[in-house]
């Protein structure tokens, strides 16, 4: 297909069709720019592993893939707070409106600062809101925001080792003021490091709540996780450390 019908017939102006049937007979070419089309680029989080109380910068890019200039491009930033995979209007944390006029085939980058964001792992989105945009499928970009926890938010509170039935466990306690997502946390002893899988369910430890990591199933009434590769605790001495995903 020809991309820009008003331009020369050089090779760069011809591209394979991306239409579902592989062609667009009697219709607008699938590769040709629409009138208004803001194409979202990458969304970056800086720093990539922020610590608790760090300032965070979200940087979003947009490319004018249409034929018309875009006046005062606007982008909304959202955080999937409830983790349901959707971004509702109530999850909007702010927006940036640029004063520039974005000409066709030009790009623009903008940034948004976040402070005092809660710890945990979140999906974030940058959604460009351009009046009359004819292609809504490319208006959004996404990234993962992983904010580390404060020191000693989750602590090792009790240890069982050398039991008669070979059950060993480590009890964790949330002594902080906010829920803790234990996915990706690392438990290490003197000889190994184990990562709590990101695929587990029921992974939030509420303030004041206990959570047990173990090598075998224990009492049903105890909230616990059988952790593959659970370290074999030495009976004389060992060094245990617990670190978050950051």
Name residues whose C-beta falls within 8 Å of residue 151's C-beta, 6 or more positions apart in sequence.
Answer: none
Which pLDDT score is estimated for 239? Answer: 82
In tens, the pLDDT along 163-174 reads 777 888 889 999
Summarised one tens digit per residue, pLDDT across range 112-137 is 999 989 898 899 999 999 999 999 99
Measured distance CA(240)–CA(232) in Å, rounded: 11
User: For residue 131, what pLDDT is reported?
Assistant: 93
How far, CA to CA in Å, does 22 sit from each of 19, 29, 137, 138, 206? 5, 11, 19, 20, 52
Query: How buried is 128 (Cβ within 10 angstroms: 0-12 exposed, 13-18 middle, 19+ buried)?
Result: buried
Whether 21 has a pLDDT exceeding 90, the answer reads yes
Q: Residue 21: which residues within 8 A CB-CB, separation 6 or more?
A: none
Q: In angstroms, rounded to a whole number, what is the distance separating the alpha carbons of residues 173 and 155?
A: 5
Instruction: Express each pLDDT in 191-242 by its tens digit.
Output: 788 888 878 777 889 999 999 988 887 777 788 888 887 777 776 666 888 9
Separation of alpha carbons 46 and 59, rounded Å: 8
The 10s digit of each residue's pLDDT in 78-104 is 999 888 889 999 999 999 999 999 999
pTM of the entire predicted model = 0.80
């Amino acid at each position: 297909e020809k991309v820009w019908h008003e331009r020369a017939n050089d090779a760069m102006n011809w591209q394979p069709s991306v239409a579902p049937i592989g062609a667009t007979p009697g219709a607008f070419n699938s590769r040709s720019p629409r009138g208004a089309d803001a194409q979202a680029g990458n969304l970056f989080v800086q720093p990539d592993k922020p610590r608790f109380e760090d300032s965070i910068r979200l940087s979003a890019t947009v490319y004018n893939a249409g034929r018309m200039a875009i006046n005062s491009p606007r982008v909304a930033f959202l955080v999937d707070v409830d983790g349901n995979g959707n971004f509702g209007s109530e999850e909007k944390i702010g927006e940036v409106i640029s004063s520039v006029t974005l000409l066709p085939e030009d790009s623009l980058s903008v940034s948004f600062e976040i402070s005092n964001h809660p710890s945990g792992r979140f999906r974030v989105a940058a959604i460009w809101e351009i009046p009359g945009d004819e292609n809504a499928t490319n208006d959004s970009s996404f990234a993962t925001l992983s904010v580390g926890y404060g020191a000693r938010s989750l602590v090792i509170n009790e240890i069982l080792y050398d039991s008669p039935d070979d059950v060993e466990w480590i009890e964790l306690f949330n002594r902080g003021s906010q829920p803790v997502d234990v996915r990706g946390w690392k438990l290490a002893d003197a000889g190994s490091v184990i990562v709590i899988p990101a695929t587990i369910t029921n992974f939030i430890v509420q303030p004041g709540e206990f959570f047990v990591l173990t090598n075998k199933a224990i009492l049903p009434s105890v909230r616990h996780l059988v952790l593959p590769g659970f370290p074999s605790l030495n009976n004389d001495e060992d060094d245990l450390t617990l670190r978050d995903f950051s």
